[in-house]
Amino acid sequence: MSSSSDMMDEPNAVDVSAGGTARPVYTFDRLGTLEYGCQVPGHYAAGMLGTIAVI
């Protein structure tokens, strides 16, 4: 797998090593359901995604 260090230019990106965990903090400014996922080629399609419900 190639390095994703160039992806860290994104303001809300989190770099997590294999087997690692992270607890990103973000303040949402509106209610709704949002989708997030890994942007490494093939990862999103393989199921590395989820949703967040802001209520």
pLDDT tens-digit series, residues 10-25: 777 888 888 999 888 8
Comparing C-alpha atoms, which of 51, 23, 22, 21 is closest to residue 35?
A: 51
Instruction: Return the pLDDT at 25.
Output: 86
Task: Give residue limits of the domains in the chain.
Answer: 28-55
What's the half-sphere exposure (Cβ side, CA atoms, 13 Å) at 42? 2
Per residue in 28-50, pLDDT tens? 999 999 998 988 899 999 999 99
Name the band, by pLDDT with cuts 50, 70 and 90, for residue 5. Answer: low
Give the Å distances, CA to CA, from 21 to 15, 29, 30, 31, 32. 10, 25, 26, 26, 25
Q: Which two tokens stand for residue 26?
A: 């973000």
Residue 2 has pLDDT above 50, yes or no: no
Give the Å distances, CA to CA, from 12 to 25, 27. 9, 11
